[in-house]
Amino acid sequence: MIVVVDYNAGNLRSIVKAVEIYSGRENIKISKDPEEVLSGDKIVFPGVGNFKSAILNLSKKYGKMSLRDALLESIKNKVPFLGICLGMHLLMESSEEGGDSKGLGVVKGNVVKFRGVKKIPHMGWNSVELLKDTPLFEGIGNNQYLYFVHSYHVNPLDEDVVVGISEYGYKFPCVIQKENVYGTQFHPEKSGKIGLKIIENFIELI
């Protein structure tokens, strides 16, 4: 079962429609229940919105456990995990957005706002340069164009987790991977055939 995490951070319809192309609707569960998240074979963690509000929603208890607890336990158990946009930001230790709010801390580093650029947010199609191989981009060529909309980007301390970069005023990480955890700054569900192939690759992970 693929669990798409619902933590009140944006419209989930587009990501669910993209995932169900390859998995079938019967194999997808949209949930904010920590127990259901823990039961997932794969987790998709989308998000659009404010870092601080999102982390507060994740920290709310549902019974004995919060979504934050469930996500960290699933990651610890090596469940394949895909964080998209804000979902990737929340994997970091902290963010400048919302007064240096604390994140999940799965990846060391923080989230920073674009500096010295002409316009924020960075919005539209931009190319992704792959720095190393990753299962997410299996069968996909380098320097493909994908769809971005964001004012902040991740700033990992460990450069080894950075799989792909893009450029907006300067180069910034836009694809990360740490063992079973993957993150994309762009929205694969809004990125045409290439984006759908990335989702398919994630679904097919063992």
C-alpha distances in Å from residue 33, one per residue of 11, 118, 178: 17, 41, 25
Amino acid 178 reads: K
Tell me which residues are annotated as active site: 85, 187, 189
Cβ atoms of 92 and 156 within 8 Å: the answer is: yes
> Are 184 and 147 within 8 A, CB to CB?
no
Return all residues near 7 (Cβ < 8 A) that are at least 6 apart: 32, 47, 54, 57, 58, 67
Structure tokens at 150: 């964001």
Q: How far is CA 134 from CA 17, 139, 201, in A?
A: 24, 10, 10
